[in-house]
Amino acid sequence: MIRDSEPLVLGIETSCDETGVGIVRGHTLLADTIASSVEQHARFGGVVPEVASRAHLEAMTPTVERALADAGVSLTDVDAFAVTAGPGLPGALMVGVAAAKAYALSLGKPLYGVNHLAAHVCVDQLEHGPLPKPCVALLVSGGHSSLLLVPDVAGDVRPLGSTVDDAAGEAFDKVARVLDLGFPGGPVIDRMAREGDPAAIAFPRGKYSDGTYDFSFSGLKTAVARWVEARERAGEPVPVADVAASFQEAVVDVLTQKALAVCKDNGVRDLLIGGGVAANSRLRALAAERCERAGVRLRVPRPKLCTDNGAMVAALGAELVASGLAPSDLEVPADSSLPVEAVTL
């Protein structure tokens, strides 16, 4: 139920290649509007920071206006603004932070500069209600593969593990390039893998049983490339579906094994998975299977809320307002390397 007494928060997300604007009231999502520049990056095989920044500049005002229209509210109805202050691409972040500052200053409303990773955790509240305290969060995207202990998403997020080289989403993009499947790689590998055998090729599981909560996918990516090159040199056809399925299985096997290890070692019974790779169908299925066996409750937002979006930023902004935390200074910077412990600046 929507309570008019709860603050109306508009969130802006520009950490990478998508201009996202979300509007929430409490835990209720009223609008989630996205303008993506992914097609502009596809011919380069990856995100070009300068192209992303220009796309954000062009999309910002129209995207805000669409979100307001979808929510049936006006700018003057907004009680607070939230914006991704980091981590992310520096130029892209600057566009969003500058826009949020302009809106907040012109309307005399509070501004919250928030952490992109904490926002990925908080967005699940829009679908499944308040987060358990504590919970474990597995965040997997093109730039991040992180395991977090979250006693309180508004102020206590503790990193336990991260990638030491390629993030999971980055590995998906690079393997898709090896297989000539285009960019972005995650969705197309997910689709192709459904036609393949995940046990066809025994690709390595980096850092699988090393006693840490860290990830490594660079070796896996290289192993796939060398396997494909060997087939091509021998003049043999490359079974693309089998390669995709076997690679994907190696990634999700490690992700879920490490996530359940964190839950067990910390006595936590709730696991949240977020980030763009959380939209992967095999990751969701394997996580559900392993969580059920381990007696761990699994929370995964619907796929649209897993990828970068303004709704997650607005959700975290609303949580900060509800927690009574002071807003950010209007001189809040864009910090491309913002650590996850800094939920807000």
335 marked as part of a ligand binding site: no
Cα within 13 Å of Cα(331), Cβ side: 0
280 marked as part of a ligand binding site: yes
Q: Would you tell me how many other CB atoms lie within 10 Å of the CB of residue 194? A: 12
The residues, any chain, with a CB within 8 Å of residue 298's CB and separated by 6 or more, are 271, 272, 273, 287, 288, 291, 292
What is the Cα–Cα distance from 146 to 173, expressed in whole angstroms?
Answer: 18
116 marked as part of a ligand binding site: yes
In whole angstroms, how far apart are CA 251 and each of 39, 226, 246, 254? 26, 17, 9, 6
CB 85 within 8 A of CB 333: yes
Which has the closest alpha carbon to 187: 254, 250, 273, 281?
A: 281
115 marked as part of a ligand binding site: no
What is the Cα–Cα distance from 208 to 40, expressed in whole angstroms?
Answer: 36
Q: Would you tell me how many other CB atoms lie within 10 Å of the CB of residue 103? A: 19
308 marked as part of a ligand binding site: yes
In whole angstroms, how far apart are CA 25 and each of 82, 105, 301, 336, 340? 13, 21, 18, 28, 25
Instruction: Identify the helix (H) or strand (E) that includes residue 242.
Output: helix 240-266
CB 224 within 8 A of CB 203: yes
139 marked as part of a ligand binding site: yes
What is the Cα–Cα distance from 84 to 11, expressed in whole angstroms?
Answer: 8
144 marked as part of a ligand binding site: no
124 marked as part of a ligand binding site: no
270 marked as part of a ligand binding site: no
Cα within 13 Å of Cα(185), Cβ side: 25
Q: Annotated binding residues, as ranges?
A: 116, 120, 139-143, 173, 186, 190, 280, 308
Q: Annotated binding residues for substrate, as ranges?
A: 139-143, 173, 186, 190, 280
Q: Annotated binding residues for Fe cation, as ranges?
A: 116, 120, 308
